[in-house]
Amino acid sequence: MTPLAPLHFDDAREAAGLAAFLRRLLHYDRAAAVRLQAGGGVLAVFGRPPSFEVIAIRTARLVDAVDLDVTVSAGELLEGIEEAAGKAVVPDAVTGPPWAGVLPPRGGWEPVAGLPDAAAMRGAVATAVAEFRARDEELPEERRTRAERDRIGREIWSRAFAGTGLPLRAVHAAQSLGFLPDLPGAELPVALFAAGPWLRLRTPYGSVALRTVQTSLSVTPAR
């Protein structure tokens, strides 16, 4: 197999941001795979952290207009990133997991109204985590099982956030992957979009997307 040419990022910070994203993915799954798509000078990296049931997307600007579509090991890609040099060696392709064949659409996204700000999202995650811990501690010894804890977690994280139709687990995923940082003295811009059965929470640091059966969304026409 002919090795792929290295990817050269527009800025060393792009390489550092991608490396941080991969480290977080690998924290949840040491054997994680990611799908890479590049075109028009932009690289999109798709991953699926276990338990969150979302697809996470991190983009990075490239120097060259490379055309690329390949699924690779997240760990090997991380090893191939040279942050100081602003480049990455793309590892050999691997057999992609099922989710890698069903990615969010590239177009057709419409804004969804009513999304609270990033601070409210972080607060909602903190409240949900505190609720889970409290309910876990209240369980009698005979019911403190993995199945019961999973049931409580599903109940909490499947709740819609602020009436938007976006489940709390997607907000939790965004925070856990570093997409909702608390920036002192600055407000982080966040937005929610819908395309068919898909929802996408977007921030400057990355996006999380998921399929949903929610049908009562308030969509604001794009201008």
Q: What is the pLDDT of residues 24-54, one digit of tens each?
A: 999 999 999 999 999 999 999 999 999 899 9
* 164 burial via Cβ count (<10 Å: 0-12, 13-18, 19+): buried
Residue 20 amino acid letter: A
The CATH 3.10.150 domain(s) of the chain lie at 7-101
Share of the chain above pLDDT 90, in %: 82
Tell me how far apart the alpha carbons of residues 173 and 158 are, in angstroms, rounded to a whole number: 12
Confidence tier at 214 by pLDDT (50, 70, 90):
very low
Digit-coded pLDDT (tens) for 62-115? 998 889 999 999 999 999 999 999 999 999 999 989 999 999 999 999 999 999
**Residue range 7-101, CATH number:** 3.10.150
